[in-house]
Amino acid sequence: MFVRHAVRFARAAPVQGARMRFSTSATARYIEEDVTSERLAQLLESSKESGKPVLVDFFADWCQPCKMLSPILHRLVNDPKLVSGREVDLVTVDVDKNMEAAQLFKVRAMPTVLAFKDGKPVTSFVGVLPEPKLKTFIESL
């Protein structure tokens, strides 16, 4: 004897009087991807005026560690608890498309992340760091 199980799909009915909550907070950070060397110079110059730290992630499409690091950096930079409510900008540079920027900052391996404050490099790391060390790196800015 075959038993047939019927699967019923139910659609959630909207609750009367319910409102969607929408918030615009300072948690959304400025992220610009795949910038040119000219645009990078503009962003670093503007960081002098704003005082915001800028993380520059030098990557390559073929680099597997880069693909691991990028989503973690995006998530951590957008974590308001981690950056104590301060804004930290994230900029990515594809070294294959923008060799000039990579040469200017003497990038020899990927991923390389440089941290800038007031338009000047303050610290960096090469390779993929474990998430707790990435948190410490960002908090130190």
For the annotated catalytic residues, the residue numbers are 63, 66
Cα separation, 95 vs 59, in Å, equals: 6
